[in-house]
């Protein structure tokens, strides 16, 4: 009776081992297929990565150029605003009668003295 029991257990272990070996073989075939697909696509992936790197480099250069352009325009705008303010002040002063100009100068001098204190 004990021989029959050990024989049944041995056969069950063989069946389970056979099933495990079959699953491992299937998994190996699938891994080989995926590996082949990756190997086939690898040059395409490499060229796409190089193109993306080149595109990002060009974008970075363009962005730096744009930032330099904005900095130049900011300086030009400041100069232009100073000229406009100065010319507007001169025009206002020239349109005022002589007495108002003197009183305006006196006010500016008084404000200057107050600020110095």
pLDDT tens for residues 32-43?
A: 999 999 999 999
pLDDT tens for residues 27-80?
A: 999 999 999 999 999 999 999 999 999 999 999 999 999 999 998 888 888 788
pTM: 0.45
Asked if 94 and 86 count as a contact pair (C-beta separation under 8 A), the reply is no
Q: What is the DSSP letter of 78?
A: H
**Residue 116 has which token pair?**
């110095």
Residue 84, C-beta contacts closer than 8 angstroms, at least 6 positions apart: none
């Amino acid at each position: 009776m004990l021989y029959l029991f050990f024989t049944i257990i041995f056969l069950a272990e063989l069946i389970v081992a056979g099933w495990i070996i079959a699953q491992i073989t299937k998994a190996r075939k699938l891994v080989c297929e995926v590996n082949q697909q990756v190997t086939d696509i690898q040059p395409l992936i490499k060229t796409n990565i190089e193109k993306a790197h080149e595109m990002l480099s060009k974008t970075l250069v363009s962005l730096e150029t744009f930032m330099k352009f904005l900095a130049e325009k900011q300086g030009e705008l400041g100069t232009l605003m100073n000229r406009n303010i100065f010319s507007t002040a001169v025009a206002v002063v020239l349109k005022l009668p002589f007495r108002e100009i003197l009183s305006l100068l006196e006010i500016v001098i008084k404000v200057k003295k107050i600020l110095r204190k």
